[in-house]
C-alpha cells in the first residue's frame, strides 16, 4: 500500500513542481526513504542463513562486503550536508547495484535490491542536472543487464525477471534517460528481448509483462525521434524538456495479440538457472554483423562506429533497434508463406510480436523517419518486403497487423513509398480480397476491412488515381480498388453478408469523400486533352508537383496518354502494324517511327501481347534490332545479380524459340548488363556466354522431358575460361546455379494473369524504379480530379448500392445506401453528369414500389409497412427537388411515381392547381399538404360520398363504413401504416418540384414538360378509361402549372404545351374533364401571360382559335364558362391586345356567344366593355367589334333592350371614327392622313352596312332603333371628310338595298307579314332616312358626275314605296308626295334643280320631271309655277325648311 501511495504522490510532483514544500521530496523525507530501502535489503539478507550467521563472537571474521557497504551507506546518509542534486548518485546507488551484480545473492535479495533501485529512479532524485548523472545511469544499466542471482524456485526467478524489466523501463522513462548512450539503449532492448524469449518457458504473467515492457521501451525510444536533430549523429536533445516529451507516453498500451507459450524459433537455450544474465549485447553484435541496411544512395550502409555508439542516444540506436525488429521477421523468410499453404505453417507469435513493435515505432516516429536516410531505407526495403510477404499469411491476426502498419506508413510516409504502396495493393489487398485467388473468407474479410480503412482517408483514392492510375509506368490501382469494392458489394446468388456491407461502406466512404470536396471549390468541367503534336510520352514532366495549377492538367494529360496507349495496345494485339499506325495518328508515336519511341511503347504499355513483342524484338530487320537495343536500354541493372536482371528482362516479353532470335535478344541484354554492372565480368562476351548458360540450365532443370539433370559441377565446368579466358569464382557460379534450380526463369511470362506475385527480382526492380519515379503528389481537400474519377466508378457504384439496397433487410443498411445515393446525386449534379443522375433516378424509382403493377390488395397499407419503399420515395423526391436542374430523362420515372401516388389518392389534393395558383390563392389560401396528425377519431368522422383524389379521401375510404359492403374498423397497425404513409408523402415536398420549376435550368424544364406530355399519353378518339383520363387531366394540370410558373421562359415551353392541347381538343368529340381542363387551361395561360409577354400576345391569342375548333356539342356545353374567361381576359388585357389577328380571335369568340342562351350575357358584357364610349376601340378591332355588336343586335336570345343596346354601341362607335379623323389631320403628314381617312371611310362603310342588316330585324323596336341609328351615322360624319366617291357606294349598298329589302318584306307572304309587325312604320322611317340623308349631302352629291343616276334611284324608290300595298298604307301614300315635294324644293333652293335646255341622260331637270310626272304630274306646277316666278320662289323657300324639319 505504501508503495502505491508513493507512486501517486510522485505523479503529483511531476504535474505540479511548484508545490515542493509539502511533498516528500524534501531532504529529510528522501533520507528516510533511502534508509528504509537499505533496511529492507538488510532484513531480507538476514533471513538467509548464509548472510545472517557470518559474524561469530570473538572471531576476526568481518561481515560480507555487501552488508558492510549497505551499513556504511546507512551511517552516512543522515550526515550529508548538501542537497541531493549535488550528491554523486553512485554513493547511494552502488551498494544496491553490487547486490544486484552479485552471484552469491538469492532471488529474493536481488528482487528487493532491484525494487530499491526502481524506487530511487521513480522518486525523481535523478535528472540531467544531478552531478555525475551519466556514470550513474550507465552503472544502473550495466548492473541490471548483467544481474546475477541464485535460482531457488521458479516463482522467485519470475519475480526478479519482472523487476529487471521494471527497472530497465524506469531507466528509459527517467528524466536522466537522455544521458544513456546508444550502446546502453541497445543493451536495454536486447536484455528485455531475451527476457521475452526466456518467458516462453515461464508463467503467463511474466510473458505478458515482458512483452508489454518491450512495447513500452520501443514506444519510449521512438517517441524521441521527432525531437532529434537532423544530423548524422542525430542525438536526442538533452535538457529539462525531455520529461515533458515522454510524459505523454506513460499510458496503458495493450498489446492485443494472444501470446502463445513458448517460441520455437529462438536459439536461446533458456537456461538462466545459474542466475547469470550475460553482458554481451546480442542485438548489437547480430545487427553489426549483418550490416545490410541500405542507405538511400543504394550502397551498403557502413555500421555505426563504436565512438558513435557511446554517445548519448539518438538515431543510431533507433536504426539498430528497427533493423533488429525487421530481422525478427526474416527468421521466417524460408518458410512457405504463400496462399497455397493450407494451414498456418509458422507459429504466428514471433512475427505478430515483431510487427506490433514495428507498428508502435512507426506510430511514434511517424513523419520524422523521412529525415533519417537509414531509417527510411529500412522502411522502404526490408520492412516493406517483409510486409508484402506477411501480407499473404494465412493468419488473420498477422494480416490485420500488416494492414495497420501499412495504413500508418501511408499516413506518415506515403511520399517516399509510392511504388511500395502500389505493390502492396496489387499483390496483397487485391489478391486477398477476392476468393478466386484462393484466399480464405477470414483473409478476404481482413483485407476488405483494411481497404475500407484506407478508403475512409479522405485523400487516399484521389492520390491513388493521381499518382498511379495517371502514371503510365504504374497500374490502375484506383480503378481496380473501385471495381473490387463494387463487385464485393454484389451479393451473387447468396444472402447479404457482412462482407457485402463492408465493401459498400468502403464504396460510400469514397463517394462521400467526393461529395464533401464539392463545397471546397475547383469543381470545373475538365477541358478535353488534345495532343496536337508528337512529344515523347515517357518524357512528360510536371513543372511543379506541389501546385495544382500545374499538376492537375499534367495528370489529366498523362491519363489521356495512358488510355490512348491501352487502345493502341489493343490494336497492336490484333495487328502490330495497325497498332503502331493508330498511335502515330494520335501523336503518341512520331510520324516517322524511331527505335526509341517504339521501345518505350513496348516497355511502358500494359496489356501488350508478349508473344508479339518477343517476335518483334527478335526480328532480324535492322529497325527491329535498333528497337531491341533501345528496349534493353530502358532497364536499370545497376548493382543487380545477373540472374535477377535476366528474370526482369524476360518478364516483359516472351523469349522467341529460334536460336538466332534468342542470340540477338541475349546480346542486347548482355551489352546493357555489362554496361551497368560489370562487377567480376571481364567483358560483355562473358555476360553473353553466362546468360546463354543460365538459359540452358533453366531449360535443363525445369523441363520435364529432360531426365538427366545438370549438376552443380557440370554447370561450373560448362563455364570455364569464359571470363576473358579466366574462370569465374566458384561461389559466384554456385550461387547462380542454386538460384536457377530453386526458382525457374519463366521464358513464357503469363499474359495478364491478374495480380502478379511479388518475387525477389521484382522487388529489386521496384526499388530501382522507386528512385526514378515521378514525385508523389499530395492532394488537398478540393475536387480537382473527382469528375474523372467519378466518371469511372459511377456506373458500378450505383449498381452495387442498388443491389445491396434491394437485398438489405435492416434500416441501418437502408440508411447507408440512401446516404450513398444522395452523395452520388450531389456529385453527378455538381459535375454536370446528367446521364449518371438519370441512371440513379431510374434505379431508385424501382425501389419505391410505386412503379410495380399493384398486386397488393391495399397498396397504401403495404407502402406504409415497407420502410425501404418509403425511404426510396423520399430520396427520389429529395433528389428531384435538390438536383432537378440536372435531371433529363429521369423526369419520366419521377412522374410515373407521382402518377401512381395520384392514382392511390396519396397526393395532397391540390398539388397541381396550387402549383400554379400562387397569385389567385391570396384571397382564399388553402394549405398545400393536409395535416397528417389527424387522430383516428377525427378520421372516422369523415364520410366518403365520392372517390376523392386527395390524401384525406384515401383515409376516409379506409375509415368509412360502406353501407353496401360493411367493413371492419381499421386496426391500430393499419392506422399506424397510414400515418407513416402520410408523413412520407409530406417529407417528399412533391409540390415544390412544380412551384419551384421557375428555378430549373432550361434543359431540365423542357425535359420535365416533355415528360408530362409523354405521361399524359396520346388522346384517343372515342372512349378512354376513366383512369387514363384522370391521369391525362392530372398531367395537363401540372403542365399548365409549370407553364404559368415559367412565364419568363414561355417561349421554351409554349410549342410543346400548345401542340398537346391541340391534340386534346381535336381528338375530343364529347365533353369531358380533359377537354375542359385543356380549354380553360389555355385561357388561363393567356390571361396570366398576356400582361407579361407582349411579343407573344398574337401567338397566345391565336391559340384561342382552338376553342373555335371545338366539337359543336363540346363547345355548347362549356360556352358560358369559356365566355366568362374570355370576358375576364378582355377586361384585364384590352389595352395589350393590339393586332387585328388577336382581336379577330376575341371577336370571333364573343360573336359565337350572341346566340347562346347562357353565354350571351357574359359575351355582351365583354363587348360592351370594349365598345362603350370607344374605350378600347381601335382601327385594329373596329370592324370586328361592330360586326360582333351586329350579331348581338340581331340575336333573339337576350331581351330586346340588349339588342337596342348593341345598336347603340354600333352607333356610338362613330364618335371614335370622328376623333381618329381629327387626330390624323392634326398630327400626321398629309399622305398618312389621307391613308387613314381612306381606312376610316372603309370602317364607316362597314359600320353602316352592319346597321343596315339590323334594320331588317323582325322586332319593331330594334328595327326602328337601328334605322334611326343608321340615319345618325350617315348624317353625323361631316367631320370625317369622307371621300366623295364613297357616297354613291353607300347609297347603293346601304340605303337603296335596305329600302328594297324592306319593300320586299312588306310585300311578302302573310307569314312574313305576321312576323314583321307594324312594318309600315318602318317603311316610313326608311323613306324619311332616304330624303334626309340625300338632302343633308345634297351639296356634295350634286358635284358627282353620277348625281343624275343617284337622283333617279331616289325618285325610283319613292315611286316603289308609293305603289306598295301594305296594311295601313295610307300614311305611306300621304308621305311620299310630301317628301318628294320637299326634296324638290330644297334642290331648287340650292340651285341643283334649275331649268336647263341641255339634252342628254345626265340632264337633272329633264330626268327629274320625266320620272316625277309619272307619279305626281301636278308637282312640277307646284314647285315651279310658270305664271309667277317670284311667288314660286317664295313658296319654295318656305317649303325647304319644312322638308329639313321632317
Hey, which residues are catalytic here? 658
Q: CA–CA separation, 895 vs 901, rounded Å?
A: 10
Helix (H) or strand (E) segment spanning residue 408: helix 396-413
Report residue 1101 as a C-alpha cell.
Answer: 391569342
Name residues whose C-beta falls within 8 Å of residue 1221's C-beta, 6 or more positions apart in sequence: 1236, 1237, 1240, 1279, 1280, 1281
Closest to 89 measured CA to CA, from 79, 97, 101, 100:
97
Could you tell me where the DSSP H helices lie in 1213-1318?
1214-1227, 1230-1254, 1260-1275, 1286-1290, 1297-1306, 1310-1315
Q: CA–CA separation, 1428 vs 1421, rounded Å?
A: 11
First to last CA, the chain: 144
| CA 1066 remoteness from chain centre | 44
Per the CB < 8 A criterion, the answer to whether 188 and 154 are in contact is: no
Query: Burial letters for 296-309: b for 16+ Cβ neighbours within 10 Å, e otherwise?
Result: eeeeebebbeeebb
Count the Cβ atoms, other than its own, within 10 Å of residue 1017. 13
Number of residues that make up the chain: 1446
Report residue 1027 as a C-alpha cell.
Answer: 383512369
Q: CA–CA separation, 905 vs 903, rounded Å?
A: 5
Q: CA–CA separation, 874 vs 866, rounded Å?
A: 13
Q: CA–CA separation, 70 vs 866, rounded Å?
A: 83
Unique residue bearing C-alpha cell 506477411: 390
Burial class (CB in 10 A: 0-12, 13-18, 19+), 571: middle
φ/ψ of 1301, rounded to 5, equals -65, -45
Concatenated DSSP letters for 84-108?
GGGS-HHHHHHHHHHHHH-SSSBHH
Q: CA–CA separation, 1040 vs 1077, rounded Å?
A: 9
Cα angle 1008-1014-1020, degrees, rounded to a multiple of 5: 150
DSSP 659: H
Report the DSSP beta bridge partners of residue 276. 148
* Cα-Cα-Cα-Cα dihedral sign, residues 317, 323, 329, 330: negative
Report residue 900 as a C-alpha cell.
Answer: 401512381
Could you tell me where the DSSP H helices lie in 123-202?
133-145, 154-173, 182-199
Report residue 316 as a C-alpha cell.
Answer: 543510431
SS3 content of the chain, % helix, strand, coil (to 5): 70, 0, 30
Unique residue bearing C-alpha cell 515523347: 536
Q: CA–CA separation, 321 vs 1341, rounded Å?
A: 133
Q: CA–CA separation, 370 vs 418, rounded Å?
A: 14
Q: CA–CA separation, 692 vs 665, rounded Å?
A: 11
Q: CA–CA separation, 583 vs 531, rounded Å?
A: 11
The crossing angle, in degrees rounded to 10, of helices 1260-1275 and 1319-1336 is 0
Amino acid at each position: 500500500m505504501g508503495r502505491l501511495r508513493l507512486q501517486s504522490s510522485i505523479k503529483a510532483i511531476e504535474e505540479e513542481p511548484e508545490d515542493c514544500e509539502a511533498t516528500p521530496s524534501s531532504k529529510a523525507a528522501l533520507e528516510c526513504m533511502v534508509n528504509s530501502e537499505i533496511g529492507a535489503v538488510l532484513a531480507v539478507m538476514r533471513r538467509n542463513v548464509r548472510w545472517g550467521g557470518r559474524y561469530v563472537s570473538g572471531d576476526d571474521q568481518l561481515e560480507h562486503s555487501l552488508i558492510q557497504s549497505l551499513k556504511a551507506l546507512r551511517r552516512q546518509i543522515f550526515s550529508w550536508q548538501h542537497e541531493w542534486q549535488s550528491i554523486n548518485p553512485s554513493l547511494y546507488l552502488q551498494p544496491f547495484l553490487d547486490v544486484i551484480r552479485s552471484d552469491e545473492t538469492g532471488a529474493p535479495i536481488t528482487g528487493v535490491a532491484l525494487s530499491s533501485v526502481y524506487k530511487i529512479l521513480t522518486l525523481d532524485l535523478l535528472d540531467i542536472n544531478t552531478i555525475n548523472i551519466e556514470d550513474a545511469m550507465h552503472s544502473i544499466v550495466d548492473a541490471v543487464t548483467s544481474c546475477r542471482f541464485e535460482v531457488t524456485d521458479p516463482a522467485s526467478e519470475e519475480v526478479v525477471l519482472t523487476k529487471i524489466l521494471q527497472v530497465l523501463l524506469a531507466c528509459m522513462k527517467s528524466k536522466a534517460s537522455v544521458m544513456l548512450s546508444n550502446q546502453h539503449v541497445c543493451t536495454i532492448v536486447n536484455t528485455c528481448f531475451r527476457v521475452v524469449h526466456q518467458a516462453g518457458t515461464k508463467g503467463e504473467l511474466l510473458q505478458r509483462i515482458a512483452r508489454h515492457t518491450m512495447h513500452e521501451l520501443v514506444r519510449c525510444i521512438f517517441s524521441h525521434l521527432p525531437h532529434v536533430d537532423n544530423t548524422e549523429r542525430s542525438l536526442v536533445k538533452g535538457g529539462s524538456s525531455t520529461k515533458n516529451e515522454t510524459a505523454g507516453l506513460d499510458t496503458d498500451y495493450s498489446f492485443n495479440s494472444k501470446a502463445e507459450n513458448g517460441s520455437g524459433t529462438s536459439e536461446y537455450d533458456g537456461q538462466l538457472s545459474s542466475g547469470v544474465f550475460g553482458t554481451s549485447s546480442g542485438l548489437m553484435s547480430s545487427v553489426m554483423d549483418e550490416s545490410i541496411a541500405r542507405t538511400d544512395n543504394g550502397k551498403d550502409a557502413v555500421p555505426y562506429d563504436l565512438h558513435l555508439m557511446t554517445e548519448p542516444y539518438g538515431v543510431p540506436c533507433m536504426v539498430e533497434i528497427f533493423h533488429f525488429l525487421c530481422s525478427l521477421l526474416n527468421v521466417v523468410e524460408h518458410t512457405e508463406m504463400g496462399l497455397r499453404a493450407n494451414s498456418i505453417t509458422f507459429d504466428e507469435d514471433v512475427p505478430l510480436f515483431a510487427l506490433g513493435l514495428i507498428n508502435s515505432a512507426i506510430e511514434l516516429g511517424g513523419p520524422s523517419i523521412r529525415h533519417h536516410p537509414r531509417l527510411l531505407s529500412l522502411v522502404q526495403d526490408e520492412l516493406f518486403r517483409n510486409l508484402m510477404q506477411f501480407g499473404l499469411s494465412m493468419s488473420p491476426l498477422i494480416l490485420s497487423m500488416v494492414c495497420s502498419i501499412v495504413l500508418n506508413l501511408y499516413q506518415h510516409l506515403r511520399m517516399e513509398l509510392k511504388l511500395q504502396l502500389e505493390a502492396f495493393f496489387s499483390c496483397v489487398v487485391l489478391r486477398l480480397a477476392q476468393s478466386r485467388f484462393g484466399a480464405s473468407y477470414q483473409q478476404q474479410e481482413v483485407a476488405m476491412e483494411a481497404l475500407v480503412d484506407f478508403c475512409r482517408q479522405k485523400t487516399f483514392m484521389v492520390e491513388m488515381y493521381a499518382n498511379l492510375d495517371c502514371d503510365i509506368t504504374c497500374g490502375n490501382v484506383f480503378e481496380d480498388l473501385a471495381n473490387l469494392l463494387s463487385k464485393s458489394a454484389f451479393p451473387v446468388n447468396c444472402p447479404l453478408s457482412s462482407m457485402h456491407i463492408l465493401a459498400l461502406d468502403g464504396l460510400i466512404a469514397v463517394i462521400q469523400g467526393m461529395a464533401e470536396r464539392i463545397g471546397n471549390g475547383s469543381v470545373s468541367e475538365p477541358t478535353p486533352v488534345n495532343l496536337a503534336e508528337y512529344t515523347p510520352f515517357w518524357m512528360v514532366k510536371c513543372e511543379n508537383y506541389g501546385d495544382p495549377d500545374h499538376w492537375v492538367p499534367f495528370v489529366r494529360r498523362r491519363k489521356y496518354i495512358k488510355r490512348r496507349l491501352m487502345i493502341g495496345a489493343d490494336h497492336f494485339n490484333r495487328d502490330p502494324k495497325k497498332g503502331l499506325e493508330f498511335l502515330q495518328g494520335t501523336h503518341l508515336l512520331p510520324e516517322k517511327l524511331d527505335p526509341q519511341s517504339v521501345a518505350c511503347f513496348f516497355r511502358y504499355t500494359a496489356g501488350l501481347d508478349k508473344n508479339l513483342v518477343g517476335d518483334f524484338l527478335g526480328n532480324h530487320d535492322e529497325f527491329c534490332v535498333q528497337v531491341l537495343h533501345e528496349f534493353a536500354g530502358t532497364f536499370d541493372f545497376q548493382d543487380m545479380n545477373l540472374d535477377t536482371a535476366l528474370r526482369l528482362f524476360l518478364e516483359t516479353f516472351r523469349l522467341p524459340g529460334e536460336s538466332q532470335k534468342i542470340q540477338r535478344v541475349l546480346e542486347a541484354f548482355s551489352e546493357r548488363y555489362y554496361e551497368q554492372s560489370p562487377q567480376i565480368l571481364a567483358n560483355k562476351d562473358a555476360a553473353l556466354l553466362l546468360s546463354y548458360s543460365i538459359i540452358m540450365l533453366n531449360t535443363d532443370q525445369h523441363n520435364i522431358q529432360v531426365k538427366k539433370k545438370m549438376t552443380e559441377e557440370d554447370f561450373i565446368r560448362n563455364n570455364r575460361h569464359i571470363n576473358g579466358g579466366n574462370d569465374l569464382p566458384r561461389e559466384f557460379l554456385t550461387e547462380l546455379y542454386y538460384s536457377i534450380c530453386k526458382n525457374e526463369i519463366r521464358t513464357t511470362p503469363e499474359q495478364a494473369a491478374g495480380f502478379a506475385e511479388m518475387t525477389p527480382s521484382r522487388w529489386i526492380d521496384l526499388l530501382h524504379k522507386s528512385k526514378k519515379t515521378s514525385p508523389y503528389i499530395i492532394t488537398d481537400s478540393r475536387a480537382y480530379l473527382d469528375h474523372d474519377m467519378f466518371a469511372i466508378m459511377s456506373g458500378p457504384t450505383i449498381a452495387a448500392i442498388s443491389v445491396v439496397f434491394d437485398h438489405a433487410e435492416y434500416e441501418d443498411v437502408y440508411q447507408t445506401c440512401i446516404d450513398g445515393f444522395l452523395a452520388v446525386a450531389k456529385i453527378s449534379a455538381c459535375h454536370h453528369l446528367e446521364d449518371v443522375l438519370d441512371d440513379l433516378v431510374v434505379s431508385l424509382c424501382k425501389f419505391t414500389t410505386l412503379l410495380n403493377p399493384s398486386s397488393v390488395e391495399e397498396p397504401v397499407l403495404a407502402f406504409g409497412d415497407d420502410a425501404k419503399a418509403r425511404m426510396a420515395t423520399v430520396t427520389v423526391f429529395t433528389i428531384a427537388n435538390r438536383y432537378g436542374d440536372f435531371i433529363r430523362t429521369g423526369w419520366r420515372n419521377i412522374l410515373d411515381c407521382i402518377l401512381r401516388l395520384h392514382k392511390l389518392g396519396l397526393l395532397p389534393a391540390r398539388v397541381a392547381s396550387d402549383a400554379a395558383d400562387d397569385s389567385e390563392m391570396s384571397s382564399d389560401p388553402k394549405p398545400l399538404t393536409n395535416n397528417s396528425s389527424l387522430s383516428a377519431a377525427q378520421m372516422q368522422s369523415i364520410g366518403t360520398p365520392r372517390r376523392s383524389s386527395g390524401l384525406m379521401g384515401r383515409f376516409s375510404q379506409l375509415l368509412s363504413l360502406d353501407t353496401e359492403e360493411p367493413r371492419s374498423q381499421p386496426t391500430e397497425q393499419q392506422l399506424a401504416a397510414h400515418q407513416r404513409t402520410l408523413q412520407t408523402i409530406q417529407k417528399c415536398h412533391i409540390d415544390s418540384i412544380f412551384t419551384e420549376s421557375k428555378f430549373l435550368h432550361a434543359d431540365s424544364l423542357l425535359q420535365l414538360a416533355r415528360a408530362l406530355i409523354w405521361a399524359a399519353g396520346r388522346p384517343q378518339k372515342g372512349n378512354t378509361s376513366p383512369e387514363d383520363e384522370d391521369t391525362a387531366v392530372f398531367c395537363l394540370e401540372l403542365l399548365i402549372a409549370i407553364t404559368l410558373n415559367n412565364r419568363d421562359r414561355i417561349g421554351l415551353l409554349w410549342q410543346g404545351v400548345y401542340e398537346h392541347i391541340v391534340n386534346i381538343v381535336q381528338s375530343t368529340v364529347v365533353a369531358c374533364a380533359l377537354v375542359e381542363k385543356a380549354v380553360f387551361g389555355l385561357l388561363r395561360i393567356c390571361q396570366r401571360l398576356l400582361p407579361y409577354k407582349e411579343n407573344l400576345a398574337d401567338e397566345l391569342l391565336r391559340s384561342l382559335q382552338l376553342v373555335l375548333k371545338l366539337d359543336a356539342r363540346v363547345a355548347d356545353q362549356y360556352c358560358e364558362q369559356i365566355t366568362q374567361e374570355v370576358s375576364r381576359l378582355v377586361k384585364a388585357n384590352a389595352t395589350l391586345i393590339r393586332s387585328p389577328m388577336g382581336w379577330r380571335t376575341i371577336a370571333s369568340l364573343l360573336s359565337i356567344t350572341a346566340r347562346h342562351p347562357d353565354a350571351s350575357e357574359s359575351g355582351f358584357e365583354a363587348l360592351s366593355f370594349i365598345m362603350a364610349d370607344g374605350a378600347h376601340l381601335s382601327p385594329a378591332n373596329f370592324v370586328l367589334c361592330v360586326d360582333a355588336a351586329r350579331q348581338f343586335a340581331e340575336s333573339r336570345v337576350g331581351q330586346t333592350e340588349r339588342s337596342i343596346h348593341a345598336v347603340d354601341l354600333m352607333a356610338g362607335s362613330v364618335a371614335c371614327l370622328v376623333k381618329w379623323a381629327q387626330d390624323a389631320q392634326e398630327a400626321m403628314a398629309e399622305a398618312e392622313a389621307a391613308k387613314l381617312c381612306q381606312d376610316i371611310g372603309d370602317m364607316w362603310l362597314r359600320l353602316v352596312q352592319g346597321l343596315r342588316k339590323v334594320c331588317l330585324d323582325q322586332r319593331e323596336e330594334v328595327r326602328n332603333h337601328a334605322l334611326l341609328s343608321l340615319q345618325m351615322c350617315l348624317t353625323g360624319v361631316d367631320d370625317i371628310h369622307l371621300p366623295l366617291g364613297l357616297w354613291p357606294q353607300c347609297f347603293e349598298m346601304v340605303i337603296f338595298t335596305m329600302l328594297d329589302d324592306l319593300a320586299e318584306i312588306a310585300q311578302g307572304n302573310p307569314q312574313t307579314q305576321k312576323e314583321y309587325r307594324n312594318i309600315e312604320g318602318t317603311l316610313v322611317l326608311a323613306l324619311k332616312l332616304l330624303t334626309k340623308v340625300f338632302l343633308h349631302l345634297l351639296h356634295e352629291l350634286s358635284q358627282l358626275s353620277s348625281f343624275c343616276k343617284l337622283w333617279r334611284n331616289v325618285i325610283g324608290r319613292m315611286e316603289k314605296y308609293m305603289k306598295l300595298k301594305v296594311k295601313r298604307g295610307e300614311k305611306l301614300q300621304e308621305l311620299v308626295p310630301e317628301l318628294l315635294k320637299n326634296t324638290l324644293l330644297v334642290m331648287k333652293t340650292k340651285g341643283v334643280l334649275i331649268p336647263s335646255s341641255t339634252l342628254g341622260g345626265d340632264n337633272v331637270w329633264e330626268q327629274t320631271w320625266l320620272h316625277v310626272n309619272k307619279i305626281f304630274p301636278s308637282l312640277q306646277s307646284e314647285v315651279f309655277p310658270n305664271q309667277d316666278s317670284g311667288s314660286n320662289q317664295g313658296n319654295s323657300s318656305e317649303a325647304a325648311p319644312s322638308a329639313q324639319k321632317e
